[in-house]
Structure 1
């Protein structure tokens, strides 16, 4: 069967597609930063050794009360990029999520469970005693499963030939397990989360040090995670690159000038981030990481274009101009981001007077 026959018809859009693509990348970067801090922070809180049953490791202590808030921010900041990708690639995303509907819908339940467990871990720490690690292990396991389902959905949507699996599995439990990019893509995501989670821990220590508190344990352990996971990411990233279809891989290795340039700049910025981590320049590490996440979000969009090139490009969408919704969205986005930034400032400064 011709895979293009399985692709649903597109809907018209109200403004040029580049607006949706750009805003999707912007909001996705914000979502990624919160999500990586949440996911990576949870893994670090699980792995770090505690000093004893009655005393928290300072890293675990600094993370315990912040992880539930990070979950809330991650979920809220994930709405906009999901909506933008649905506007442009809805006929692909909806199809992939319907094919794996059982797993896709379960994500809501899994995230809610993880959210409640994090609150339970934070406020019942002493009561949990020896079970505290078990609770955090459950949280990490839930996040790992959610990440795996998302990786499946994002790979399945860009490979229409895989949709033919529906004819042998109509139960809504189709996963893209035969795709050679699935595992490296998934690990690329997990390792990146651990790196950013480490940076988040280091930033918590940096802020404590500025408040004349002992933030050295957080800084040391956080930067160790950041640098080690960034090094691992070079290996996983190479695997991911080599797992791509040949024509897609070559697009980032010279065949497509823009894609190659973005990829090379991202590689250079990753080296800068690694240098900043090894030299304990926390703010430089943070700035270069934000830049790197932004560049990788662009690479992700370019990768999607390359995979869908035989079937679709956003420029194919029919334009029916109506700009007022875009203006309203941008206004509310600016105000909303300002409010979130102010809330984070208040939240992170909550203990300053203590």
Structure 2
């Protein structure tokens, strides 16, 4: 490790809880957060596209999605607080220095999220009243774009947390009179784009699973024709998301991540099993959705929701191992004393 790398010193107060406890709730919180986060990340672009260009059942699907979005976003924001807080506690030595370097883009997430939330409410309110105007559709497009940008900023922050070797370079490029301006982005990191785009593919699969669950359990007032359309739409969307996720995941793991991390994983049989399950897991909800292509089935739809949650959980666990391995090259995690 470069002794000039500005990793924060260890906290003499120690951890407020055992490291495994912090890890467990960070992963659990992130998994819970991913469910609604995926829905707005991929769902809002779908709403924007189908709301403008869709007709008939396609537009009806968009209206059902936007009608749920105010609650979905509220849940996502609240669930997102959990992993963020546990990240700040367990990984403060890298979280805060990285945050200082990209302070203003990171802070802008609050503003962007607020504007996006207003846009969702405007569109959802017009849909609920049955009187959608052009500026409601425009608000939906703005919200969709802002959620994608927010995802990009999150990918910047959390990739920079592990890209410690570039901290000083970024600091020198953006500092003024020795003070960091906080205007940097982690654009030079080869993991940034595939990491960001991989999450978009995963979000498509979650949105497809939601469409099936919604059609089976919450669309009682809709026609049978709509439910059959929703099933066919979910089949195509999940397939697109699965292919997208696979391609971006392969780029991320085999074209961007340090090969030493993969070599380390191969030496541990449990990690090989975890990685294999993570890669193959989207196949389970995909088959369940495919089995409903001619019409939704409540039992299979329930299994689909549970299986998709398992997909997200496996991804969260795998990402956590990789994050620990990358940060572990610079600091020893979990060795601080516990002082409650």
Give the TM-score normalised by the residue count of structure 2: 0.87
Partner of 2:164: 160
Cα distance between partner residues in 2 of 1:289 and 1:143: 22
Structure 2: tracts of 5 or more residues without a match: 175-179, 293-299
Q: In the TM superposition, what are the counterparts of 1:1-354 in structure 2 within 5 Å?
A: 2=2, 5-11=5-11, 12-48=14-50, 49-51=53-55, 57-125=59-127, 128-164=132-168, 165-169=170-174, 170-208=180-218, 213-214=223-224, 215-242=227-254, 243-252=256-265, 254-280=266-292, 281-320=300-339, 322=340
Cα distance between partner residues in 2 of 1:222 and 1:287: 16
Cα distance between partner residues in 1 of 2:333 and 2:157: 19
Cα distance between partner residues in 1 of 2:133 and 2:119: 15
How much does 1:128 deviate?
Answer: 4.6
Q: Is the partner of 1:312 in helix, strand or coil?
A: coil
CA distance 1:306–1:286, change in 2 (3 Å): same
Q: Is the 8 A contact 2:234 2:289 kept in 1?
A: no
Cα distance between partner residues in 1 of 2:288 and 2:87: 33
Task: Find runs of 4+ consecutive structure 1 residues off by over 6 angstroms.
Answer: none
Cα distance between partner residues in 1 of 2:132 and 2:268: 55
Q: Is the 8 A contact 1:41 1:201 kept in 2?
A: no
Partner of 2:295: none
Structure 1: tracts of 5 or more residues without a match: 323-354
How much does 1:117 deviate?
Answer: 0.4
How much does 1:66 deviate?
Answer: 0.8
Cα distance between partner residues in 2 of 1:43 and 1:200: 15
Q: Is the 8 A contact 1:44 1:194 kept in 2?
A: no
1:32-68 superposed Cα distances (whole Å, 9 cap, x missing partner)? 111112222212212224327xx98220121122111
CA distance 1:5–1:133, change in 2 (3 Å): same
Cα RMSD between the aligned structures? Answer: 2.1
How much does 1:134 deviate?
Answer: 2.5
Q: Is the partner of 1:134 in helix, strand or coil?
A: helix
Q: Is the partner of 1:314 in helix, strand or coil?
A: coil
Q: Is the partner of 1:157 in helix, strand or coil?
A: helix
How much does 1:208 deviate?
Answer: 4.0
Q: Is the 8 A contact 1:206 1:219 kept in 2?
A: no
Q: Is the 8 A contact 1:40 1:198 kept in 2?
A: no
Aligned length: 318
Cα distance between partner residues in 1 of 2:119 and 2:247: 33
